[in-house]
Amino acid sequence: MRTGAVLAALLAAAALTPLGLDADGYALRVLTTALLFAAAAQAWNIVGGLANRLSLGHAAFFGIGAYCSTLLLVRFGLSPWIGMLASAALGAGAALLIGLPTLRLQGHYFALATLAFGEVMRVLANTWTGLTGGPVGLSVPFGPDSLALLRFKSTPPYYWAALGLLALCTAAFLGVRHSALGYRLMAVREDEAAARAIGVDATRAKLLAATLSGALTAMVGTLYAQFSYFFDPDTVFGITPVSVRIALICIVGGIGSPFGPILGALFVIPMEEAANVLFGDRAAGLAPLSYAVVLIAVVVTEPRGLLRLMGSVLRPVMNRVRAPAAAVRPMAPRPGAGP
């Protein structure tokens, strides 16, 4: 599978990147953040890309992951690695909790329901002060470097952990896509009634995908908490900072493709930081506006994302480069464009 080979090569290249950068530097932190969100977007891709269930509430899982592991750490001194597993379990459970009532919902309605679910979690985190500390937020305890406690002073270990999570999420995505579950999801996506008619257990398929996606997203939330040292309900359960951002990254990059979330994250996150560095306080809002415009542009012209966009733009060029004689061959029609 060529895709697999390419991904493996990228993984190797990415693993070496920190060695060429300042370990305490800003650039590495930005890349790590991008990898984290790429991982979350990849988890979203499982339901959004394979099952066509467009969730606007993935922050619910992300936040559950962040709070679960941090509370276990603060209250019981439990290692965040174990906390991550606990988060995965809770995330899966939450996915079932929202997945069951929304089984029959599609498109817009499903998006609305997930949006509300994310908000429910946020309000709960804000008001259940006894458990979560409320709006004041939680701090990850500070101390000397410790692998067991996923605690490091410099960035490279977090970078590699994020890379590992991204690899895990991508493997999960590909695993689902090329499995029986993947084909069942595709059948359900194309025509649910027909799929049920031939014996596909659509309910089971949807719930399985949701559970996997929720569990993985929660794990990313855990790593995010360890990496950021501090968070509050609005940061990890928020619609715009998490739910919309994750979905947006996947869509802009290329929904349904394993490369989409990666490309999307590498585009969106550094762009945001670059805008902050360049404009700072002079133009608050310019960065989010820019990628909102990109999102709109992508969605209106090529809903399958930048990946396809770049592919369709480059194909004629590549054709000309590879086989000048073949340039007179008519171009294959662009998939998905137009009504």
Please report, as residue ranges, which positions from 212 to 241 form the binding site for other proteins (by CB under 8 A): 228-232, 234-235, 239-241
Is the Cβ of residue 85 or residue 134 nearer to other proteins in the bound state? 134
Is the Cβ of residue 85 or residue 171 nearer to other proteins in the bound state? 171
| Minimal distance, residue 127 CB to other proteins, in Å | 5
Is the Cβ of residue 169 or residue 251 nearer to other proteins in the bound state? 251
Is 316 a binding residue for other proteins by CB under 8 A? The answer is no
Write out the binding residues for other proteins, residues 287-306 only, by CB under 8 A.
Answer: 288-289, 291-293, 295-296, 299-300, 303
Is 307 a binding residue for other proteins by CB under 8 A? The answer is yes
Q: Which residues pair with 231 in a beta bridge?
A: 138
**Could you write out the DSSP letters of every residue in 143-173?**
-S-BTTTTB-SSSHHHHHHHHHHHHHHHHHH
Is 281 a binding residue for other proteins by CB under 8 A? The answer is yes
Is 247 a binding residue for other proteins by CB under 8 A? The answer is yes
**Angle, alpha carbons 308-241-152 (nearest 5°):** 100
Give the residue from 326, 288, 272, 312 showing the smallest Cα distance to 34.
272
| Minimal distance, residue 172 CB to other proteins, in Å | 19
| C-beta atoms surrounding 4 within 10 Å | 13
**Cα separation of 248 and 307, whole Å?**
14
Show the site string, 260-279: x = touches other proteins by CB under 8 A, - = not: --xx--xx--x--xx-xx--
Q: Which residues pair with 199 in a beta bridge?
A: none
Is 77 a binding residue for other proteins by CB under 8 A? The answer is no
Q: Are 149 and 79 in contact (CB under 8 A)?
A: yes
- Residue 247 neighbours by CB under 8 Å, 6+ apart: 41, 44, 48, 54, 55, 56, 58
Q: What number of chain residues touch other proteins (CB under 8 A)? A: 103
Is the Cβ of residue 82 or residue 239 nearer to other proteins in the bound state? 239
Write out the binding residues for other proteins, residues 106-165 only, by CB under 8 A.
Answer: 106-109, 111-113, 115-117, 119-120, 123-124, 126-127, 134-137, 139-140, 142, 153
Is the Cβ of residue 217 or residue 257 nearer to other proteins in the bound state? 257
| C-beta atoms surrounding 196 within 10 Å | 14
**Cα separation of 88 and 73, whole Å?**
15
Select from 83-91, 173-181, 209-217, 246-254 the region that touches other proteins (CB under 8 A).
246-254
Is 20 a binding residue for other proteins by CB under 8 A? The answer is yes
Is the Cβ of residue 82 or residue 266 nearer to other proteins in the bound state? 266
CA-based R_g, the chain, Å: 20
Chosen residue from 41, 44, 45, 48 binding other proteins by CB under 8 A: 48
Is the Cβ of residue 33 or residue 211 nearer to other proteins in the bound state? 33
Q: Are 161 and 91 in contact (CB under 8 A)?
A: no
Give the residue from 51, 232, 226 showing the smallest Cα distance to 133.
232
Question: The dihedral of CA 271, 312, 188, 216: what is its sign?
Answer: negative
Chosen residue from 76, 96, 101, 335 binding other proteins by CB under 8 A: 101
Query: For 231, which DSSP code?
Result: E
Chosen residue from 310, 323, 327, 331 binding other proteins by CB under 8 A: 310
Write out the binding residues for other proteins, residues 50-69 only, by CB under 8 A.
Answer: 52, 54, 56
**Could you write out the DSSP letters of every residue in 94-143?**
HHHHHHTTTTT--HHHHHHHHHHHHHHHHHHHHH-HHHH-GGG-EEPPP-
Is 203 a binding residue for other proteins by CB under 8 A? The answer is no
Is the Cβ of residue 204 or residue 315 nearer to other proteins in the bound state? 315
**Cα separation of 208 and 95, whole Å?**
9
